[in-house]
Amino acid sequence: MHLRRWITALCLLPVVIYAIGFSPPYVFYSLVCFVMLLGLREFYHIIKHIPLLLELAGYIISLLIAGIILKGSMYLFPFAISCCILIPMIISITRNYSPQESLFQDMAKLLFGILYIALPLCMLMIIYKHPYGRAWIFFLLSLVMMGDTGAFYFGRYLGRHSLHKKISPNKTWEGAIGGLISSVVSGFVFIRIFKPVSVSAGILFFMVCLAIMGQLGDLAESFIKRSYNIKDSGTILPGHGGILDRIDSFLFTIPLLYAYMMW
């Protein structure tokens, strides 16, 4: 498991670095959309029982939002939000839901997947289009990845006190603190070397907030899996689990970085 985890990471990292920093924009956008669809598929399979047509609607709406962002037609964004209700409702009507069936529960699951997975990844596309967007994405990548690595090893070798037994029994306070320290140190080193912004008390506080949000994202995904008695979101990444197991921290940190950059 441990060796497979590193082999998978070392195979994927060059692809991610190339897509972010050196490829034509369409390669990055295609990769994000691919990850988005895989993440949605895993989520809808975790929660189960959602009709296939509604699941397909989730994919279509997510790609529609991504397309509007890529085209730069933000005035169409309200249309995409309206489609979040219109398309599922039309599908539900044609499917002849009876009053006893869980129409609104199914729609809530559909919309939750879009808001939880698709929307943050669409924000990442907007960040990418920023003049310093690629540098900020690399900054976030280093901060989150080092935080995950630090939390894993601090927890494995020093972990004694459970962080949240009901959600994730294997996570410890020692691991959380180690992850926080690793994130901030990694972010600080990145800023000192590549200088996307000057070092200040404000940016240090921002890195702490990102580190905390990353760990909350990890716990949130664990909460979802625990609710459905599932250990991993998938098996596509040997040693890691599924796509959601790998991007859970990013789903909580991307909106915070987006807000910081657009402020």
**What stretches of 72-172 show up as alpha helix (H) in DSSP?**
77-94, 103-113, 119-129, 133-158
Look at residues 204, 207, 200, 190 and name the one whose alpha carbon lies nearest to residue 139.
Answer: 190
Tokens encoding 170: 């294997």
Integer CA distances (angstroms), 12 to 50, 146, 154, 200, 239, in order: 31, 15, 24, 33, 13
Return the domain boundaries, the chain: 2-262
Please state the φ and ψ torsions of residue 28, each to the nearest 5 degrees.
Answer: -65, -45
Tokens encoding 165: 């037994």
What is the average pLDDT value for the chain, to the nearest integer? 89
Look at residues 43, 55, 27, 119 and name the one whose alpha carbon lies nearest to residue 81.
Answer: 119
Give the model confidence (pLDDT) of 48-74 as tens digits: 778 888 889 899 999 999 999 888 777
Whether residue 1 is predicted with pLDDT greater than 60 in this model: the reply is no
Whether residue 96 is predicted with pLDDT greater than 80 in this model: the reply is no
**pTM of this structure:** 0.91
* CA–CA separation, 247 and 249 (whole Å): 6
Mean pLDDT of 228-255: 87
Whether residue 19 is predicted with pLDDT greater than 90 in this model: the reply is yes
Give the model confidence (pLDDT) of 127-183 as tens digits: 999 989 999 999 999 999 999 989 988 888 887 888 887 888 788 899 999 999 999
DSSP code, position 237: B
Instruction: Tell me if 190 sits within 8 A of 206, measured CB to CB.
Output: no
Instruction: Tell me if 136 sits within 8 A of 196, measured CB to CB.
Output: yes
Whether residue 101 is predicted with pLDDT greater than 80 in this model: the reply is no
